Chain A
Amino acid sequence: SQQGEEDPQALSIQEGENATMNCSYKTSINNLQWYRQNSGRGLVHLILIRSNEREKHSGRLRVTLDTSKKSSSLLITASRAADTASYFCATGGERLQAQLWSRTMDSSYKLIFGSGTRLLVRP
């Protein structure tokens, strides 16, 4: 099952406009990442924001994180036709520690991807 859900599922804008995509998630997280996928290709990491950060910038990208609302947004400013792709948020969960006798065991860390937003930037 998906942890993150992006909204909208699809977005069509004119070149030069800004594109905003939202992501909501369900459980506590350590960090949230945004990835981009061109058709038929592998995902490319865009930006990582930690749970104690509220906003982060990278070039034309701005990511916000609101842990109280369990949501994040990705803003792409001054969009270009080359920005046409699918965008995914991915959440990394809390690492749980359990005491078993005298050993501390770390649980595994998993990155769970949302269903993605398909962005079309028209020239």
Chain B
Amino acid sequence: DSGVTQTPKHLITATGQRVTLRCSPRSGDLSVYWYQQSLDQGLQFLIHYYNGEERAKGNILERFSAQQFPDLHSELNLSSLELGDSALYFCASSVGEEQPQHFGDGTRLSIL
């Protein structure tokens, strides 16, 4: 058990919809990272928050947004969903940058 909790585990929705993925980091970890994993793109870094502030952006679409709350949990919002957004979305946390990251088990998003 990594200590990182992601909900929901599975999400099935339709094109054009909006969903929110939630992540609770390990106790004491200030950094939260979001990744997208798909068969064709592999594991892609989306965004990094540290103690409530955005620290880095990767290949995150404008339709996607995230935030980290004062209690350090994070949410990833995906809107105007397209078929190509179907993927596994992982959250990871770490004590700080350049430290090992601890991954949740992911949210599997299926767009019908």
Contacts and interface: CB of A to CB of B under 8 A. Distances in A.
Contacts, number: 58
A114 B35 CA distance: 13
A112 interface: yes
- The main secondary structure of chain B at its interface with chain A is strand
Contacts of B98: 30-31, 92, 109
How many chain A residues sit at the interface, stated as a range, is: 20 to 34
Contacts of A35: 103
A42 B90 contact: yes
Contacts of B104: 42
B55 A44 contact: no
Contact of A108 (B43, B48, B101, B105): B48
Which of A33, A35, A109, A115 is packed against the most chain B CB atoms within 10 Å?
Answer: A109
7 contacts: A35-B103, A42-B106, A108-B48, A108-B56, A109-B97, A113-B42, A114-B42
Interface of A: 2, 30-31, 33, 35, 40-45, 48, 88, 92, 95, 108-116
